[in-house]
Amino acid sequence: KKTANISFSNRGKTLEDELNDSNEYYLSNNIAVIHKKPVPIQIVNVKYPARSAAVITEAYFRSPSTTDYNGVWKGLYIDFEAKETTSKTSFPLQNIHEHQVKHMKQVIEQDGLAFFIIKFTTIDRYFILFYEYFEKKWERMIAGGRKSITLAEMEEMSIEMQASFQPRLDYLAALENHLQSLL
Amino acid sequence: KKTANISFSNRGKTLEDELNDSNEYYLSNNIAVIHKKPVPIQIVNVKYPARSAAVITEAYFRSPSTTDYNGVWKGLYIDFEAKETTSKTSFPLQNIHEHQVKHMKQVIEQDGLAFFIIKFTTIDRYFILFYEYFEKKWERMIAGGRKSITLAEMEEMSIEMQASFQPRLDYLAALENHLQSLL
Ligand SMILES: [Mg+2]
Ligand SMILES: [Mg+2]
């Protein structure tokens, strides 16, 4: 049901939807080529029915060895992981896989750009957190410290961005502003 | 059965295996971060048995919208498609998807490196073909010309490389030599 009251609220859209929409916009406007990677699946059984497409009848989800999204933007290699949290006060580190962290570190070492896009769904706020900052908090956890990044820390370390209309989440504009400000 | 006569022949190894081995070598030696993308699957049905992992019971292969491999090497975005042919005389263009070609063009426009790694399995020869050269032959086909790239054309337009031991296919060294020669 459409209403005249168009809102940029996140209700009903997942962060993944919002990013896929944004990436489509970037692609069709020749701004960047960034895609979500397919979910890795281990295929155990496939049937080949006569006159129709092969059917996978047994398969299992595998844990990803890299991140959700990668691609190229103005010659820069872009690599990020998207995460939502319902918490209003902190971003939990538990559902980040160690091999994803390792992957991002490897990306940085090859002069790629690695970051998280984090959505606090309850308070409708979005942050871009560079791997270099994330790493400090990840290491704090490894050393026995807190298992999350507080909202205050997030505000201090990351780039906050607003959802908009087109593109839905202009994370490349946010990155560009930030990179410009460093010059 | 092991023999003393170690050969670098391709028998038994697919190009994909060879490239995966090479990428593992690159990764563990901090040379580059390049991964094969998972095969895209459309999941229709999933069962969640008590006390065990989710099982995908119905799914279908989707045609890939991008290429096989991508990643980052010394700040460069790398994107390629791997193809084998059993032909001794030409590389057929039929099994290349139009959306893969479009993707590679988009990558070039963002200053990424896009290419094919092509193995002539019968004659055991390997070529790196930059997208820019491939495109000419693709357009020839679109214009009604031949539906393949002849071996002679391949020799003229691409970088030939030899299989070796470690890494199995040192395509980044081959690229580096070529890029150096352009300076
Ligand atoms: Mg994610
Ligand atoms: Mg392939």
Mean pLDDT value across residues A169-180: 94
Dihedral sign computed on CA atoms, order A37, A41, A43, A47: negative
**What's the pLDDT tens digit per position in A28-84?**
999 999 999 998 999 999 999 988 889 999 999 998 889 999 999 999 999 999 999
CA distance B105 to B164: 31
Element (H, E) at A113: strand A113-120
Query: Does position B169 have pLDDT exceeding 60, yes or no?
Result: yes
Q: For residue B82, what are the CA distances in angstroms to A27, A40, A139, A171?
A: 23, 19, 38, 31
Q: Which of B27, B79, B103 sits opposite A106 (nearest CB)?
A: B27
pLDDT for res A65: 86
Q: Each residue of B23-47: pLDDT tens digit?
A: 999 999 999 999 999 989 999 999 9
Higher pLDDT, A163 or B7: A163
Q: Given its phi and psi angles, is residue B44 left (phi above 0), alpha (psi -120 to 50 degrees) or beta?
A: alpha
Q: Is the pLDDT of residue B5 over 50?
A: no
ipTM: 0.90
Terminal-to-terminal C-alpha distance of chain A: 47
DSSP states of B100-168 as a string? HHHHHHHHHHTT-EEEEEEEETTTTEEEEEEHHHHHHHHHHHHTT--SEEEHHHHHHHSEEE---SSSS
Residue A157 phi/psi, 5-degree rounding, is: -95, -20
Its pTM stands at 0.90
Least CA distance to B64: which residue of chain A?
A38
Question: What is the structure's pLDDT at A51?
Answer: 86
pLDDT of residue B51: 86
Of A100, A143, A180, A155, nearest in space to B33 by CA: A100
Give the angle B168-A72-B85 at the CA atoms, nearest 5°. 40
Task: Look up the CATH number of domain B15-182.
Answer: 3.40.1350.10
Using one digit for the tens of pLDDT, what is the confidence trace for B76-104?
999 999 999 999 999 999 989 999 999 99
Average pLDDT, chain A: 92
Residues of B in contact with A68 (CB under 8 A): none
Tokens of B121: 């399995």
How many angstroms does the Cα of residue B82 sit away from the middle of ligand 2?
4
Query: Would the annotation count B68 as a binding residue?
Result: yes
pLDDT of residue B9: 53
Centre of ligand 2 to C-alpha B40, Å, is 13
Burial label for A40, CB within 10 Å (0-12, 13-18, 19+), is middle
Residue A2 has pLDDT above 50, yes or no: no
Q: Looking at beta carbons, which residues of chain A come within 8 Å of B65? A: 35
Q: Give the residue-averaged pLDDT of B63-88.
A: 96
- pLDDT at residue B170 above 70? yes
Higher-confidence position of A6 and B133: B133
Look at residue B1 in the predicted model and tell me its pLDDT.
42
Please tell me the predicted confidence (pLDDT) of residue A182.
82
CA pair distance A173, A178, nearest whole angstrom: 9
pLDDT above 90 as % of chain B: 83
Is B81 annotated to bind a ligand? Reply is yes
Q: What percentage of chain A carries pLDDT values higher than 70?
A: 93
Q: Which residues contact A58 (CB under 8 A, 6 or more apart)?
A: A43, A44, A45, B55, B56, B57
Distance in Å, alpha carbon of B114 to nearest chain A alpha carbon: 11
Q: What is the mean pLDDT of residues B143-171?
A: 96
| Ligand 2 centroid to residue B17 C-alpha, Å | 11
Contact yes or no for A151/A90 (Cβ under 8 A): yes
Rama region for B74: left / alpha / beta (φ>0; ψ in -120 to 50; rest): left
Residue found under tokens 């070598």: B25
Q: How far apart are CA A99 and CA B157, in angstroms?
A: 39
pLDDT interval class at B12 (50, 70, 90): low
Q: Please, what is the Cα angle at B34 between B28 and B38, to 5 degrees?
A: 115
Average pLDDT over residues A94-115: 96
- Fold annotation for A22-38+65-181: Trna Endonuclease; Chain: A, domain 1 (3.40.1350)
Please give the pLDDT value at position B3: 43
Residue B52 has pLDDT above 60, yes or no: yes
Split at pLDDT 50, 70, 90, the class of A9 is low
pLDDT band at B182 (very low <50, low <70, confident <90, very high): confident
Taking the C-alpha atoms of residue B100 and residue A83, their distance in angstroms, rounded to an integer, is 29
Domain boundaries, given as residue ranges, for chain A: 22-38+65-181
Confidence of residue B131 (pLDDT cuts 50, 70, 90): very high
